Amino acid sequence: MIYFAFQNPLTINQILLVIIVLVEAVRIKNYHQLDIILKKTSEMAKNKSPNKILIVEDEITLNETLSYNFEQQGYQVKTAFDGHEALALARNFEPDIIILDIMLPGIDGLEITRILRKESGVPILLLTAQGEEIDRVVGLELGADDYMAKPFSMRELIARVKALLRRVKLDQPDNPIQPSEQLTFNNLMIDENKHEVLLNGVSLKIKPKEYDLLLYLCTNSGKVMTRSLILEKVWGWDFDGGTRTVDVHIRWLREKIESDPTNPTRIITVHGVGYRFDG
């Protein structure tokens, strides 16, 4: 059974999942569940269609290098060299992920991020000039999912793209590990089945990472969670965007769920430590 499950190439994430499941299954001796999950993992590898990637970069050589490397990795690649072309392709090609340079002719990468975030949740990885920390912070605030500073290692960029795509897939409803709960805190309800947050019965427009963060804080209600722990649990151990990312997302969440975001009563700042969800 295990031999057949590995006949198709698995991603690192899938291999890790299998190892975790093996350890857990041996521990609880639930071999039936192990079999089901191994079959599911194998199906995920078989049914994988190529990921569509849009590369937006006006430096022709860099654009070609990126394009070549992602094609070699089995991605379906489209390239854009200016902001207008990028927006048109983002809408027509419907990529699974966008690598987006900030300094572009036409419309810059930050403005493109702002426009696209109103239209879709497509993961965006920004390419920033070295030392331009302000661009990174603004980019993340506008809704970019990750960034890399130039010059970067191609291997690291490919790893980051894969990590982002993995996170998006894990957010999708065919994730084999299905949550099945509703968490209620007074007028706030989190429906894990629908990936939905309701305030006074009204569904909130909430981004995937905000949802993950809120769910993580709620399931640890009353406990202080450090920024670095939140970063690891919500963004993953391979994310190195810095704890400022946590603060930015907390601020967005407060704007959505607090009656007075400047004087929060639900998500409490514990100075020098992190955040605590008080219900």
Provide the minimum distance between the beta carbon of 112 and Ca ion in the complex, in angstroms, as a whole number.
12
Provide the minimum distance between the beta carbon of 186 and Ca ion in the complex, in angstroms, as a whole number.
48
Residue with Cβ nearer Ca ion (111 or 192): 111
Provide the minimum distance between the beta carbon of 117 and Ca ion in the complex, in angstroms, as a whole number.
20
Bridging pattern class, strands 52-56 and 76-80: parallel
Residues engaged in binding Ca ion (CB under 5 A): 58, 101, 103
17-45: buried (b, 16+ CB within 10 Å) or exposed (e) per residue?
A: bbeebeeebeeeeeeeebeebbebbbebe
Query: The tokens of 230 are what?
Result: 């939140």
Q: Is the previous residue joined to 264 through a cis bond, with omega within 30 degrees of 0?
A: no
Residue with Cβ nearer Ca ion (12 or 60): 60
Bridging pattern class, strands 182-185 and 188-191: antiparallel
Residue with Cβ nearer Ca ion (85 or 101): 101
Residue with Cβ nearer Ca ion (101 or 146): 101
> The tokens 């994310």 sit on which residue?
239
Identify whether the C-beta of residue 160 lies closer than 8 Å to the C-beta of residue 146: yes
Residue with Cβ nearer Ca ion (152 or 216): 152
Residue with CB nearest Ca ion? 103
Residue with Cβ nearer Ca ion (100 or 214): 100
- Fill in the amino acid letter for 22: L
Q: What gap in Å lies between CA 244 and CA 64, rounded to an integer?
A: 33
Provide the minimum distance between the beta carbon of 83 and Ca ion in the complex, in angstroms, as a whole number.
10
Provide the minimum distance between the beta carbon of 243 and Ca ion in the complex, in angstroms, as a whole number.
28
Residue with Cβ nearer Ca ion (106 or 208): 106
Contacts of 272 (CB under 8 A, 6+ apart): none
Provide the minimum distance between the beta carbon of 147 and Ca ion in the complex, in angstroms, as a whole number.
14
Contacts of 196 (CB under 8 A, 6+ apart): 190, 203, 204, 206
Provide the minimum distance between the beta carbon of 43 and Ca ion in the complex, in angstroms, as a whole number.
41
Q: List, as one string, the DSSP characters of 259-277.
A: SSTTS-SSEEEETTTEEEE
